[in-house]
């Protein structure tokens, strides 16, 4: 084999997956058809769960200086903001950071870990057999054949990998399009920007004095997304919506985007897998696309690495589809809801009842429980991977809280134990023998820690041992207090999740 895994696409999802695989010692090649990194950024945010993922891999110090924390977010552009600051996380904010920055930081990390990134090359044909996959890769020097054990499509809505796998991509075609423009020159007086917002235009300050304007113009929402946006069209829409074009100059970037919504029938076909936009596309409502792709990569990375290294328990790689496809479905559904609210507001015969509906929903968002529930969903902090085995502890499948712990006389926190991308076993009773038994049996796969003291957390009341997956979700937990009972339960649980002991 030339490599263990070939990743098609060097966007945020492909780069995150490349980092995860390389961190686990998997020989990885990322193939990207563009010759240079993308300068313009469609996505602009990392939501709380994605920020947690960067924290878990020791990358937060690289990302925070490059972005701007924003404690509130939106749902369907309703006036009442989603309050991320009150959620159960150390990172109750969205990090406002351009996609190009995110890609550059992840690419640098992938290089550090030894992943190979090949730009200006395109996968034009892909096939699989019992032993691996074969990719025909066309580059400036011609076409070469690459053999790998697995291939992952992170190559967007027109994914070559998805087509080669024969995976259906059902959904709906676009019925509505919007426009975005990045402008270095415009009237940036606060009163002018308020007038833009009052016209229903989204305003986002970017780097170097550039301002992004995103608009939905009722007179232009049926223009196909394939039709290029002209600067005069954008100015006319601004005048129609706001009464002025606010002196916008020549744009740095103009783009049209649509609400086509599709979800792959499954995320795996043999040795071919999908992640990010190759698996799900939708309207960019509430900025969830990039974040969902990063979380796909985090879920898949350790499972694919375990499979390549030969210790994955039966069904582990299939659990990627089982766990992540429902998340993709939930995201596509909530973006369709948000798009429908926007479209109803624009269609003349529905404007009055649509406005009443938006007022009602805004009233609901002022209720703490409603706001917290929706904020948890949009931020992805409420994502739970439901266990398939009966009798599992309620904690299993949930995000493990980033508790502070004291072990071996040192104070630390859980996320400081996750950068190596291994399981983490915590004995919360302070019994060193259980940690010793874990190390003897699963040494390189699990970091075993005897906890002498820890933060009190509602989710952990009564828990005596917990196994945390490499992606920060709980793999197993027990409340057993009898030492012998815990020992037997532990061995069975760890074998089922982390493979046969050494």
CA pair distance 107, 27, nearest whole angstrom = 16
* DSSP string across 34-90: SSS---S-S--EE-HHHHHHHHHTT-HHHHGGGSEEESEE-STT-SSPEEGGGSSSS
CATH (domain of 491): 3.40.30.120
Task: Give a yes or no: residue 395 inside a domain.
Answer: no
Please give the pLDDT value at position 200.
Answer: 86
CA pair distance 272, 289, nearest whole angstrom = 21
pLDDT band at 198 (very low <50, low <70, confident <90, very high): confident
Q: What is the pLDDT of residues 217-270, one digit of tens each?
A: 999 999 999 999 999 999 999 999 999 998 999 999 999 999 999 999 999 999
Please give the pLDDT value at position 214.
Answer: 96
Task: Give a yes or no: residue 26 inside a domain.
Answer: yes
Residues 242 and 356 in one domain: no
Pairing relationship of beta strands 268-269 and 251-258 according to DSSP bridges:
unpaired
The last residue of a domain, from among 258, 274, 291: 258
- Phi, psi values for residue 117, rounded to 5°: -115, 120
Residue percentage of the chain with pLDDT more than 70: 100
Residues 2 and 133 in one domain: yes
pLDDT band at 457 (very low <50, low <70, confident <90, very high): confident
Task: Give a yes or no: residue 399 inside a domain.
Answer: no
The last residue of a domain, from among 211, 233, 258: 258
Task: Give a yes or no: residue 396 inside a domain.
Answer: no
Residues 6 or more apart whose Cβ sits within 8 Å of residue 188: 211
Residues 268 and 252 in one domain: no
pLDDT band at 195 (very low <50, low <70, confident <90, very high): confident
Mean pLDDT, all residues of the chain: 95
Task: Give a yes or no: residue 390 inside a domain.
Answer: no
Residues 166 and 77 in one domain: no
Task: Give a yes or no: residue 455 inside a domain.
Answer: yes
Q: Please tell me the total count of domains within the chain.
A: 4
CATH (domain of 183): 3.30.70.2450
> Residue range 173-187: average pLDDT?
93
> Residue range 441-451: average pLDDT?
96
pLDDT band at 425 (very low <50, low <70, confident <90, very high): very high
With 90 as the cut, is the pLDDT of residue 388 above it?
A: no
Are 26 and 4 a contacting pair, CB within 8 Å? yes
Neighbours of 32 (CB within 10 A): 25
Residue 327: C-alpha distances to residues 289, 291, 383, 479 (Å): 11, 11, 8, 29
Task: Give a yes or no: residue 398 inside a domain.
Answer: no
Q: What is the largest CA-CA distance in the chain?
A: 76
Residues 289 and 149 in one domain: yes
β-sheet bridge partners, residue 371: none
The last residue of a domain, from among 197, 225, 258: 258
Please give the pLDDT value at position 142.
Answer: 95
> Residue range 463-480: average pLDDT?
97
Please give the pLDDT value at position 266.
Answer: 98
Please give the pLDDT value at position 151.
Answer: 98
Residues 6 or more apart whose Cβ sits within 8 Å of residue 387: 396, 397
Pairing relationship of beta strands 423-427 and 446-450 according to DSSP bridges:
parallel
pLDDT band at 408 (very low <50, low <70, confident <90, very high): confident
Residues 166 and 108 in one domain: yes
Q: What is the pLDDT of residues 57-86, one digit of tens each?
A: 999 999 999 999 999 899 999 999 999 999
Please give the pLDDT value at position 298.
Answer: 98
Residue percentage of the chain with pLDDT more than 90: 91
Q: What is the pLDDT of residues 272-318, one digit of tens each?
A: 999 999 999 999 999 999 999 999 999 999 999 999 999 999 999 99
Give CA 239 to chain center in angstroms.
Answer: 36
Q: What is the pLDDT of residues 338-375, one digit of tens each?
A: 999 999 999 999 999 999 999 999 999 999 999 999 99
Residues 30 and 61 in one domain: no
Residue 455: C-alpha distances to residues 338, 399, 452 (Å): 38, 16, 11
Burial class (CB in 10 A: 0-12, 13-18, 19+), 283: buried
Residues 55 and 89 in one domain: yes
pLDDT band at 197 (very low <50, low <70, confident <90, very high): confident
Please give the pLDDT value at position 141.
Answer: 92
Please give the pLDDT value at position 424.
Answer: 98
Please give the pLDDT value at position 199.
Answer: 84
* DSSP string across 322-355: HHHHHHHHHHHHHHHHHHHHHHHHHSGGGHHHHH
**Which residue range forms the structural domain that includes residue 139?**
1-38+100-174+259-340
Residues 367 and 430 in one domain: no
Please give the pLDDT value at position 409.
Answer: 84
Residues 250 and 277 in one domain: no
Residues 6 or more apart whose Cβ sits within 8 Å of residue 368: none
Residues 223 and 235 in one domain: yes
Please give the pLDDT value at position 192.
Answer: 79
With 90 as the cut, is the pLDDT of residue 458 above it?
A: no
CATH (domain of 311): 3.50.50.60
Task: Give a yes or no: residue 300 inside a domain.
Answer: yes
Residues 233 and 358 in one domain: no
Please give the pLDDT value at position 1.
Answer: 80
């Amino acid at each position: 084999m030339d490599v263990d895994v070939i990743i098609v696409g060097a966007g945020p999802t492909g780069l995150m997956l490349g980092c995860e695989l390389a961190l686990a010692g998997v020989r990885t090649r990322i193939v990207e058809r563009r010759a240079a990194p993308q300068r313009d950024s469609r996505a602009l945010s990392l939501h709380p769960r994605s920020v947690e993922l960067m924290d878990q891999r020791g990358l937060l110090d690289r990302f925070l200086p490059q972005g701007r924390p924003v404690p509130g977010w939106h749902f369907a552009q309703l006036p009442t903001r989603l309050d991320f600051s009150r959620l159960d996380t150390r990172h109750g904010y969205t990090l406002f950071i351009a996609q190009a920055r995110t890609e550059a930081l992840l690419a640098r990390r992938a290089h550090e870990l030894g992943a190979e990134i090949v730009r200006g090359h395109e996968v034009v044909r892909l096939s699989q057999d019992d032993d691996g996959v074969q990719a025909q890769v066309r580059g400036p020097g011609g076409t070469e054949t690459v053999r790998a054990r697995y291939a992952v499509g992170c190559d967007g809505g027109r994914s070559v990998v998805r087509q080669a796998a024969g995976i259906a991509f059902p959904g709906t075609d676009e019925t509505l399009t919007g426009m975005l423009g990045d402008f270095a020159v415009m009237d940036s007086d606060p009163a002018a920007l308020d007038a833009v917002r009052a016209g229903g235009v989204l305003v986002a300050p970017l780097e170097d004095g550039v301002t992004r304007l995103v608009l939905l113009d009722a007179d232009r929402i049926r223009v196909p997304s394939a039709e290029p946006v002209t600067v005069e069209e954008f100015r006319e829409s601004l005048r129609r919506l706001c009464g002025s074009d606010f002196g916008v100059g020549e744009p740095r970037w103009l783009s049209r985007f649509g609400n086509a919504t599709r979800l792959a029938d499954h995320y795996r076909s043999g040795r071919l897998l999908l992640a990010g936009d190759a698996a799900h596309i939708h309207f960019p409502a509430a900025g969830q696309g990039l974040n969902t792709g990063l979380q796909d990569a985090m879920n898949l990375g350790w499972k694919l690495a375990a499979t390549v290294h030969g210790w994955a328990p039966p069904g582990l790689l299939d659990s990627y589809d089982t766990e992540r496809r429902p998340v993709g479905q939930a995201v596509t559904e909530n973006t369709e809801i948000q798009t429908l609210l926007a479209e109803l507001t624009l269609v003349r015969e529905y404007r009055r009842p649509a406005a009443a509906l938006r007022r009602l929903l805004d009233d609901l968002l002022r209720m703490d429980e409603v706001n917290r529930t929706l904020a948890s969903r949009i931020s992805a902090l409420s994502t739970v991977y439901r266990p398939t085995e009966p009798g599992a502890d309620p904690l299993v499948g949930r995000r493990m809280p980033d508790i502070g712990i004291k072990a071996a006389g040192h104070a630390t926190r859980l996320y400081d134990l996750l950068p190596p991308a291994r399981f983490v076993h915590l004995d919360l009773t302070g019994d060193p023998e259980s940690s010793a038994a874990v190390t003897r049996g699963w040494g390189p796969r699990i970091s075993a820690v005897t906890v002498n003291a820890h933060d009190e957390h509602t989710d952990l009341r009564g828990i005596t041992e917990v196994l945390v997956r490499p992606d920060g979700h709980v793999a197993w937990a027990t409340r057993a207090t009898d030492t012998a009972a815990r020992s037997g339960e532990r061995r069975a649980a760890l074998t089922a999740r982390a493979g046969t002991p050494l």
